Amino acid sequence: MPLPATASRSLLYVSTSLVPRRDADAIIAELVASSRRHNQRAQITGALMYSERHFVQIIEGPPIAIGSLLARLDIDPRHRDLCILYDADNHPRRFADWSLAYFGPDRLIAPYIEAALARGGAPEAAVLIDAIAAFAAAADGTAHDAG
């Protein structure tokens, strides 16, 4: 079932990873797989990037589902210092075809994350969202998962 193009809520956050590098591949693979299953059921779309030091994620969907996911993210032991950089209602979905697009570990996104954390604000959040969208647009069909 196709998802509506308009999300009621769109949220971007950055957090500090607590995932041990030696275990990162297995931990992140399980995180992505379980998130995709949950997100499809909850009509959440978005993208996750992991830079070994940080997670950055944009999530889109019904307000109740996003609120519930945010509450779980707040207590997730795989990260800390969750910082919301962008939170908007009635925002069009940018990742409507993805239950969870995943990219990482990726050092290319690290400067965008650092700039967003250092300066904060809407301009830095917009640049970070655009960078994630560019990664999603360039991804091959094997990662395209919500259709």
pLDDT bin (cut points 50, 70, 90) of residue 44 is very high
Residue 111 placed within a domain: yes
Residue 1 placed within a domain: no
pLDDT bin (cut points 50, 70, 90) of residue 117 is confident
Residue with more model confidence, 25 or 18:
18
Residue 135 placed within a domain: yes
Residue 38 placed within a domain: yes
Contact 61, 9 (CB under 8 A): yes
Closest by alpha carbon to 134, among 106, 73, 64, 52? 106
Residue 85 placed within a domain: yes
Please give the pLDDT value at position 2: 54
Give the residue numbers spanning the domain of 123. 6-143
Count how many domains the chain has.
Answer: 1
Above 60 in pLDDT, residue 16? yes
We report the CATH number of the domain holding residue 60 as 3.30.70.100
Mean pLDDT of the chain: 84
Residue 75 placed within a domain: yes
